[in-house]
Amino acid sequence: MATKTVAEKPNGPVAAALLAGGIGSAVLGLVTLIYELNDKSAFAKSLAWYKPAGALTGKSGLGIIAFFVAWAVLHFIFKDKETEFNRIATISFVLLVIGLLGTFPPVWHLFAGG
């Protein structure tokens, strides 16, 4: 009787996606925090990509671009590789938390000393 076998796939593309998700999240959080610490800076002003919606468009835009660019680059690097998945997953979770903290207003006040 013939048995159907499923070819193993490397975990590299999955690790790349998870890490990219973490990077996108962390970039969004850090850009938001930097903006909130000084919303009059040249960098802060440059984030108003769509004037009616203000700097939210640039902050979210940079996070989204970081996510997709990191994903493309990491996918290219990891696509055929078997990675240390648990380590990459842990780093991705930490990056997600950095993103979450960066969007949390009390953290802005903590860094601003207010």
Partner 1 sequence: MEMNLREIWTVVHGMVFGFIFLLGFSGALYAVYSMKTEWLTAEGISKTVNNIKIYLWGLAISVWAAVFTGTYIVYPWYRANPPQGATDLSTFPKFLLLANENTAQWHEFGMEWKEHVAFLAPIAATVVAFVASYYGPMLAKKIGERRAVMVFFIFAFATAAVAGLFGAFITKAAPVR
Three-state SS string across 63-85, please? HHHHHHHHHHHHHHHHCCCCCCH
Phi, psi of 7 (to 5 degrees): -65, 135
Q: Could you tell me if residue 3 is left (phi over 0), alpha (psi between -120 and 50 degrees) or otherwise beta?
A: beta
Residue in 2, 8, 80, 114 binding partner 1, rule: CB under 8 A: 8
Q: Using CB under 8 A, which residues numbered 44 to 63 contact partner 1? A: 50, 52-54, 56-57, 59-60, 63
List of residues contacting partner 1 (CB under 8 A): 6, 8-9, 11, 13-14, 17-18, 20-21, 24-25, 28, 32, 50, 52-54, 56-57, 59-60, 63-64, 67, 85-86, 89, 92-93, 96, 99-100, 102-105
